[in-house]
Structure 1
Amino acid sequence: MTKNEENKIREKFKQKTWNEVKTNDSWAIFKIMAEFVEGFERLSKIGPCVTIYGSARTKPDHKYYKLAENIAYKLTKHGYGIITGGGPGIMEAGNKGAKRGGGTSVGLNIELPHEQHENPYIDDDKVLDFDYFFVRKVMFTKYSQGFVAMPGGFGTMDELFEAITLIQTKKIGKFPIVLVGVTFWTPLIDWLKNTLIEQGNINKEDLNLFSIVDSEDEVLEVIDTFYNKYKFSPNF
């Protein structure tokens, strides 16, 4: 294999030599710090918000797109702003619903090789761009008073299970996590029950860390009930 062929393979799979790793790691610290600083400064001013996430591939004529838009609309009418990943699909639906309801519409966009592009329903002063998934996930968790998980792929599962893990391990305060789409989520929940609980990898009580619903009114009920029950203000 020639050096040129080796370099092409490295580029395809985003692999680096050890010297490149050491050099890039040192400089990456400053980029990571900059993303945290900008995120903290800008998001600390947005007020109480709920994050809606799900597949970027969901089309505007799909029932889940329309449901996400209606959920966002109703949440804004209850005083919440909406945070999404800023891209198309479910994210676009969330921002569109927020815009329709006259509420705060935030987009935490990230550079991806496909699918991701900024949607037109984000407030002009509330678009943030990230290079690092882990920085963006901190922003979602830190500045959201609730998570609404619509059907999605790996990214959706990543966001969902990170939030559940942080709450389970008491690394963050509890907040409502709502899975929307009973038909979509039931096979996953069955696997959690029949495999993880059966093998002792999680406790049965861990399933109480989230709710599963099918409608926008149920989403609102879960979130409002949580804050009423624990006497929390959603703008803490």
Structure 2
Amino acid sequence: MTDAKRPNAAQLASPSYRLPAFDQDFLLGDSMRGVRFLLEYAKAEESLRNWGVRSTIVVFGSARVRENGPGRQAFWYAEARSFGQIASSRGGALTDNGGIRDNVIATGGGPGLMEAANRGAADVGAPSIGFNITLPREQEPNSYTTPELTFRFHYFAMRKMHLAMRANALVVFPGGFGTLDELFELLTLRQTGKSPPLPIILFDEAYWKTVINFEALIENGMVSPIDCELLKFADSAEEIWHKLTDNGLVAHAP
């Protein structure tokens, strides 16, 4: 008597039989953490290269600020938007698609002052970048980043790497813990010589000198006076631009 063919449904259904590229359980497992880091690097890198983005101006500030918010919020928002316009018009972001783009506005991609800077770039028809991060309370991208340059990261480390690796300058508007984190990340890279020289501008000197006692750091020997010279202050969008160019930023006007 001829035996009937033994069914192989169990083998076909086994997770081990899935192609690795389509196996979510495998890709999201512990052993693939390094691969996920690589994917987060490579996906954004490919899009940035396709758009010819050679360098950026990183802009950070509070996600909580609103265009018509109370106190100085409206002023901060308006100046961040104005700076996005100025930098995008004068810096080299306005080239034909496929050409080399310099000093492209790059933000954390969220609302508030990041939205304002991206919005300024959109006002003049320039592309801008949003490096979003997945958070427990989901952050959505603002509507002014260029769709093809709107990214989402799981790993803060890879997001920070992309923010830093093309940065020609850092402009920091008033903000809280997240803004301070990004400021000191790049400031430490500058202080230790781990990044090329790049200007760091803090917007609204009164705000920043209230939030951080830079002189106390010097007086207590935590930093040297020359370390604090890495920081410059500005109180208008035009002043930011002039401080940037006076401190080494090379403009590539279209």
- The alignment's TM-score, normalised by the length of structure 1, stands at 0.82
The equivalences for 1:57-206 within 5 A come to: 57-61=64-68, 62-79=74-91, 80-114=103-137, 116-189=139-212, 191-194=213-216, 196-206=217-227
Which has more helix, going by share of residues?
1
The structure with the largest alpha-carbon Rg is: 2
**Which residue of structure 2 lines up, in the alignment, with residue 3 of structure 1?**
none
Distance 1:76 1:49, change over 3 A: same
Match of residue 40, structure 1, among 45, 58, 75: 45
Amino acid at match of 1:34: L
CA contact (8 A) 2:119 2:144 kept: yes
Aligned twin of 2:229: 208
Q: List structure 1 runs of 4+ shifted beyond 3 angstroms.
A: 232-235
Which residue type is aligned with residue 63 of structure 1?
Answer: F
Q: Secondary structure at the match of 1:170?
A: coil
Contact 1:51/1:84, CA 8 A, preserved across alignment = yes
State the aligned residue count. 208
The residue type paired with residue 47 of structure 1 is: R
Distance in 2, matches of 1:56 and 1:160, equals: 15
Task: State whether residues 180 and 212 of structure 1, in contact with CA within 8 Å, keep that contact through their aligned partners in structure 2.
Answer: yes
* 1:198, distance to aligned residue in structure 2 (A): 1.6
Match of 2:59 in 1: 52
SS of the residue aligned with 1:146? strand
1:162 shift after superposition: 0.7
Separation (CA, whole Å) in 2 of partners of 1:25 and 1:180: 41
Contact (CA 8 Å) 1:56, 1:115: kept in 2 or not?
Answer: no
Q: In the aligned structure 1, how far is the partner of 2:67 from the partner of 2:223?
A: 37
Distance 2:211 2:152 in 1: 31
Q: Give the CA deviation at 1:43.
A: 2.5
Percent identical residues: 35
Structure 1 stretches of 5 or more lacking a match? Answer: 1-22
Query: Cα deviation per residue 1:62-119 (whole Å; 9 max; x = unaligned)?
Result: 2211111011111111123211111111111111000002222111111112362111
What is the deviation of 1:24? 5.0
Contact 1:177 1:211 in 2 (8 A): yes
Aligned mates of 1:233, 1:70 — CA distance in 2? 17
**Is 2:42 aligned against 1:30?**
no
Q: Give the deviation of 1:124 after TM superposition.
A: 1.8
Coordinate RMSD, CA, aligned:
2.0
Q: What CA distance in whole angstroms lies between the structure 1 residues aligned with 2:230 and 2:138?
A: 30
Equivalents in 2 of 1:188, 1:31: separation in Å?
37
User: Counterpart of 1:41 in 2: which secondary structure?
Assistant: helix
Secondary structure of the residue aligned to 2:221 is coil
Three-state SS of the structure 2 residue aligned to 1:155 is: helix
Output the amino acid matched with 2:223: I
CA distance in 1, matches of 2:104, 2:238: 17
